[in-house]
Amino acid sequence: MNITVVGAGAIGSLWAGALARQGHTIHLWRRQTASVSTLHWQGLDAPDTDTFTFHCNQVDLLSRSDIVLITVKAFQVSEAVRSITPWLCTSTPVIVMHNGMGTENEVLQLLPDNPVLYATTSQAALRADNHSVRHTGSGPTYLGAVNTAGELWHALAGVLNTALAPCQWHEDIHYPQWQKLAVNCAINPLTAIHQCRNGYLAEPDFTAELTAVCREVAAVMAAAGYPTRSEELVQRTMTVIRATAANYSSMQQDVANQRPTEIDAITGFLIEQAHHFQLATPANFALWQQIKHLEQNYG
Ligand code: PAF
């Protein structure tokens, strides 16, 4: 298939390389103006490496894409979608994959005719520099439609699954998105504030705060129609903390590099939903405030 990957950060590069290894033709759409880009791809097992050269920013390749995969951060999604719409065929399925929630309505407005799908992934990757990416952790990816046209594209879960298993189709993608949001609400701000690896949050000092965050997320999820036991969210969070103990979270890295974080799409989305349902989320609000403070004080 001809696949355009929009955004070549850690997750975009991970998927671009994994899909290229399956024989798909990858084209990158990114802010850098270069027309080709080399990627050194390193799999989970150290000797498993590959090098690819991808075409970039070619409008004819974009318009001939069989799939577009958007992997930019939540706050860049709208701009990314606007940048492709002049050349995008209305029949091309567009998959949006990012941490957090809250971009869907705008994407659906910008792409009223395209099949639109969202994916949430627990795969982890690290970008050492502009030209290399390392797969640092494996976890499930879920794919689901957010409009009627998207519902015809179940087969795309198979395409993603062949590249980086496991990937499953989900009839209601909001459910796995909420479950991942809970994990991100717990891990991302705390690792960014303490500038620590994910594994550090397994220390007993963090138990009360992680529990409070998950309890608030469970209450908002229940109000949104996804009743979930908060113990289950704590357990899910602890599993991710252990499985990714040696990794730095995306928000830790954003703060370390003084980049804008995804706090508004993660904790901010939760707070907004809580407000809508008239629920209090003091533990999450405190974390949101601390990250906002850190962002405002970048040098
Ligand atoms: O944002 C991240 O880094 C990841 O989604 C997660 C699950 C927190 C693991 O680091």
Architecture of domain 175-296: Orthogonal Bundle (1.10)
- Ligand 1 centroid–CA 153 distance in Å is 27
Q: Please give the class, per CATH, of domain 2-171.
A: alpha beta
- Does residue 237 line the site of ligand 1, with CB under 6 A? no
Mean pLDDT per 10-residue section of the chain, whose length is 299 residues: 96 97 97 92 89 97 98 97 97 98 98 98 90 93 98 98 98 98 98 98 98 98 98 96 92 96 98 98 98 96
Q: 0.85 cut: is pTM over it?
A: yes
Chain centre distance of CA 186: 15
The whole-number pLDDT of residue 204 equals 97
Phi and psi at residue 142, in whole multiples of 5°? -120, 140
Residue 249 CA, closest ligand 1 atom number = 3
Ligand 1: centre distance to CA 247 (Å): 9
- Pairing state of beta strands 116-121 and 94-97? parallel
Q: Best mutation site among 177, 247, 263 for ligand 1, i.e. most ligand atoms within 8 A of its Cβ?
A: 247
Ligand 1 pocket check for 83: Cβ under 6 Å: no
Q: Which has the closest alpha carbon to 56: 91, 93, 83, 77?
A: 83
In this structure, the number of other CB atoms found within 10 A of the CB of residue 9 comes to 17
**Extents of the domains making up the chain:** 2-171, 175-296
